[in-house]
Amino acid sequence: MEKYLLNNRVCPLPMNWNELYKILVRETRNSGIQKPLILAAWNFTSDEQKLGRFEEHLKLIEEKNIITAKVFLDGLEEDKWYHKEI
């Protein structure tokens, strides 16, 4: 899952992260999955908090082997990711 964090990526941009969340809920039939830090939360959370939440999602994808989520993330162009400033 490390490949999704290459190039200083933090998480997918909000619209794409929300789509990933929908995939996770649908594929696991679990509405208790932590929501992505988007909408109002986007402006009030640090890069580290966003990364931490995205890593939770990646861990779930890995543990449950959610292929549709992997395919979705693999299809995201680089400009669809939020990157941390260096």
Q: What is the pLDDT of residue 53?
A: 98
Q: What is the pLDDT of residue 74?
A: 98
Give Cα 17 to chain centroid, integer Å: 5
Interval 59-69: pLDDT, tens: 999 999 999 99
Q: What is the pLDDT of residue 47?
A: 97
Residue 57 identity: H
- Tell me if residue 10 falls in helix, strand or coil: strand
Interval 18-59: pLDDT, tens: 999 999 999 999 878 999 999 999 999 999 999 999 999 999
- Residue length of the chain: 86
Residue ranges covered by each domain of the chain: 2-83
Q: What is the pLDDT of residue 85?
A: 83
